[in-house]
Amino acid sequence: MIRSSVLIGALAVTLAACNGEADIPQTGPNPNLPEPQRGLLPSMTIPRPANWGNELPKVPEGYKIQAIATDLRIPRQTLVLPNGDILVAEGSGGYAPTLRPKDFIAGFIKSLGKSSVKGGDRLTLLRDADGDGTYEMQGVFADNLNAPYGLALANGFIYVANQDALVRFAYQDGQAQASGPPEKLTDLPAVINHHWTKAMTASEDGRFLYVGIGSNSNIAERGMEVEEDRAMIWQIDAQTGAHKPYAAGLRNPTALDVQPGTGQLWAVVNERDEIGPNLVPDYLTSVQEGGFYGWPYSYWGQNVDPRAQPQDLEKVASAIRPDYALGSHVAALGLDFSTPAMGENFAEGVFIGEHGSWNRSNPVGYKVIFVPFRDGKPAGEPIDFVTGFLVDKENTRGRPVGVTVDPRGALIVADDLSNTIWRVTRTNP
């Protein structure tokens, strides 16, 4: 079995090398979109896990980083509570069967870049009681969950988006453990769960929750019937659980946030694979209610993807072009708006956690970036904020997922490869 796995990996790497690859700048509102490339296998390379040793991630001058929790069980997203406690959602989901031989090979390649730790299916609470930056308390707030991912606090409840249901816990400030089992608010689509993560955020007034639901395939190869209620964002009534589609055509909306002061919903979206190392750019976008963003019929607005059959030209004509390209296959999984407490150069904009690519021979992502905003919109090139995860083409020490801004002036980063929570602060705030 080991020998066959090695042969599969060698075949994938060999074919990827034959495809050739050149890096094309693809960030901002007008990315360069080359012609699609298709072959027997897509480019596939994923760096293997490496130890941090005495190393730390790199941050800009004037900032420092420390690990505030280690030995976790696949930390995905975090939530800073009003008293400064940090909730961590730990878990790993999905149970989609493979369809084609290349799906099996891709699955094997992806597995090489994952932690061997089993997902925790729990919420862990971190507490720094004396405010010195050391989170001396680490305990389980709630367990027996089902691949929890999205987190939100509103209306006296902590809302948790499991891979199959939205649940909530009553919460009082300073509470260290849930007072009982969760209350289910509504089921979430969970059949197949090719993309299992359920990103979530709350409206500013707490009336609505927004939940991102990824597609059940790369490009509808399982048929559109299994894509019902998929590749979209739901708007859910936070009191009753009643829900409706808010926006559609979003292949995999992996992180959501509401822009402070405007109420505007934003998302980062992982786009489709297998048409080349420089297609299609993952993106950051404002989300229009009732909007359609192309999947599966088109990408980056109205660029038709002929693999999606039958086509729907009316849908293509209505497809909205995203606001800001992040680069192809960076796998953005975290999003949070900054505050002035993060420092003058990072006061207005969003932090984005990039988990890192598999569908290209030269790895990209594997870092946290900052996208500056001006007048409420992205403006300028992205800035590397936390790097040093990627050692080289073959090895990485970590893979960022969720990013959360503590309003007191810290960025919290979940790393699901080294199973660490990192905290970035200014050296002279």
Residue in 188, 199, 329 with CA at minimum distance from that of residue 257? 199
In the beta sheet, which residues pair with residue 324?
284
- Supply the pLDDT for residue 183: 98
Token readout for 62 is: 């004037």
Q: For 65-90, how does the pLDDT look when each residue is reduced to its tens digit (9 = 90+)?
A: 999 999 999 999 999 999 999 999 99
Q: Which residues of the chain have pLDDT under 50?
A: 1-20
Is the N-terminal amide bond of 310 cis, ω within 30° of 0?
A: yes
The structural domains of the chain, ordered by start, are: 2-19+33-426 (2.120.10.30)
Q: How many other C-beta atoms can be found within 10 angstroms of the C-beta atom of residue 427?
A: 9
Q: How far apart are alpha carbons 156 and 406 in whole angstroms?
A: 19
pLDDT at res. 403: 98
- From the list 98, 115, 116, the residue with the least C-alpha distance to 107 is 98
35 vs 396: CA distance, rounded Å? 30
Assign 3-class secondary structure to the chain: CHHHHHHHHHHHHHHHHHHCCCCCCCEECCCCCCCCCCCCCCCCCCCEECCCCCCCCECCCCEEEEEEECCCCCEEEEEECCCCCEEEEECCCCCCCCCCHHHHHHHHHHHCCCCCCCCCCEEEEEECCCCCCCCCEEEEEECCCCCCCEEEEECCEEEEECCCEEEEEECCCCCCCCCCCCEEEEECCCCCCCCCCEEEEECCCCCEEEEEECCCCCCCCCCHHHHCCCCEEEEEECCCCCEEEEEECCCCEEEEEECCCCCCEEEEECCCCCCCCCCCEEEEEECCCCCECCCCCEECCCEECCCCCCCCHHHHHHCCCCCEEEEECCCEEEEEECCHHHCHHHCCEEEEEECCCCCCCCCCCCEEEEEEEECCEECCCCEEEEECCEEECCEECCCEEEEEEECCCEEEEEECCCCEEEEEEECCC
